[in-house]
Amino acid sequence: MSQTAQITAPAGRLDGKTICVSAAGQGIGRAITERLIRDGANVHASDIDAGFLEGLDTKTATQVDATDPEAVETWLGGVSRIDGMVHAVGFVHQGTIEDCTLEDWRKTQSISFDSAFYVLKSAIPRMKQNGGSVILIASVASSIRGYPKRAAYGASKGGVIGLMKACAADYLADGIRVNAICPGVVETPSLQVRIAEMVTELGSEAAARQWFLDRQPSGRFAKPEEIAGTCAWLASPDASFVTGQTINVDGGITI
């Protein structure tokens, strides 16, 4: 697969929908935000770094630390109606369990797992009256598949998937759909950090990049826009009968 497929969708399929997106400033979160806006949604964006939110044409752009439950509640409490919630926060600890200190473990779980709990606990009660779509960005490196040097991260994203499935069951009768997108390796600023972390071990940036590329049967990394297209579909009425699912957008990893 040498070329990226062009993703198209009916214009305006999210017209009138109000969707909140966390970690909206960079990478997958930013691509999702831009795609939702293009499809007609009113987006309330947040990120831990306010500078990353610059240039986004959102209804609001708020600096929020998603590991702080009070900050999450203040952010979502300021949105009068929520039709969709996309939680894209995550942190990748690189290393085996022997490499993972207690501080590393707690940081990873706080950012990648606990934050999902805070966001769902705040957003879901506000969605019960009208229903809607919750989308959590998890990972193929989770309960779906084990990867080298992903002990803490895999545990955190596996937890996200378990939380997703439980909430999907609990709130089905309220018209709230809850799903998770599990990307493969995506070309993002986060990936560049992980590549840099591998240079010392592998000897060069090219070798480190190839180490990640070898995980992709497709022979390339995903573009953030490819994850965003799936997210926009899950947020739309086109996915009205889809809940409790892990959608693998992984370029063939899980074939």
Active site residues: 153
Buried (b) or exposed (e) across 29-52, using 16+ Cβ within 10 A?
bbbbbbbbbebbbbbbbbbbeeeb
Q: 177 phi and psi, to 5 degrees? A: -95, 135
CB count within 10 Å of CB 20 equals 29
CB 97 within 8 A of CB 77: no
Q: How far apart are CA 203 and CA 26, in angstroms?
A: 28
What count of residues does the chain have?
255
CB 122 within 8 A of CB 77: yes
DSSP designation for 113:
I
Q: How far apart are CA 47 and CA 40, in angstroms?
A: 21
Q: Which residue has the tokens 């193929």?
A: 140
For residue 133, list its beta bridge partners: 84, 177
Q: Write down the H helix ranges in 78-223.
A: 102-109, 115-127, 151-170, 189-202, 205-213
Distance of alpha carbon 177 from the chain centroid? 16
CB count within 10 Å of CB 55 equals 10
